[in-house]
Amino acid sequence: MTDTAPRLVLASASPRRLELLAQLGLVPDEVRPADIDETPRRDEPVRAYARRMAAGKAEAAAREGEVVLAADTVVSAGRRILGKPESPDEAAAFLRLLSGRRHRVGTAVAVAAGGRIALKLVETVVRFRPLRPAEIDAYVTSGEWRGKAGGYGIQGRAAAFAPWLQGSWSGVVGLPLAETAALLAAAGVRA
């Protein structure tokens, strides 16, 4: 009898998550983004929202006999969820809000296997230095904010904005590696 690894599916279209997964030595058998409604519920706490999104994506992509990895990254300033900006003006507004202050980045990771979903939320506190209007304009013009929660990518040009963080750098990028590796290992997926 041979011990075969289960089929791994990444339920995300994020190239960053694919790159981070590769850092664990893993290449998914399939990339199958889950299309779910990502609208926060009225008065929904940030942590609950992140968990609900990750679990919902894993459940939507799950099929029998597969291990499905899903994640959701939520940037929040206080109780306000800063989603993916829909315009350059909204991206600039997010950066002005984050300028000179701390904010939280929570990434929930969900692994669906065998009819069950294992879930882990990793929170990181990030501090942005005060940003000059010209820096915000240049960043927005770069387009790097597109498709990114909070309107920035810490793995890119916005790294210069964040002199300090407490928590998981890879979690801010979109996939906390230590926690992801543990969840996948528990589901029988190892590099």
Write out the catalytic residue numbers: 72
Report the 3 state secondary structure along 49-83.
Answer: HHHHHHHHHHHHHCCCCEEEEEEEEEEEECCEEEC
Residue type, 15: P
- On whether the CB atoms of residues 74 and 81 are closer than 8 A, the answer is yes
Residues with Cβ < 8 Å from 178, sequence gap 6 or more? 168
Tokens of 91: 């991206």
Tokens of 4: 């075969």
3 state SS of 160: helix
- For residue 88, with 0-12 CB atoms within 10 Å meaning exposed, 13-18 middle and 19 or more buried, which class applies? middle
User: Residue 90, Cα to own-chain centre: how many angstroms?
Assistant: 20
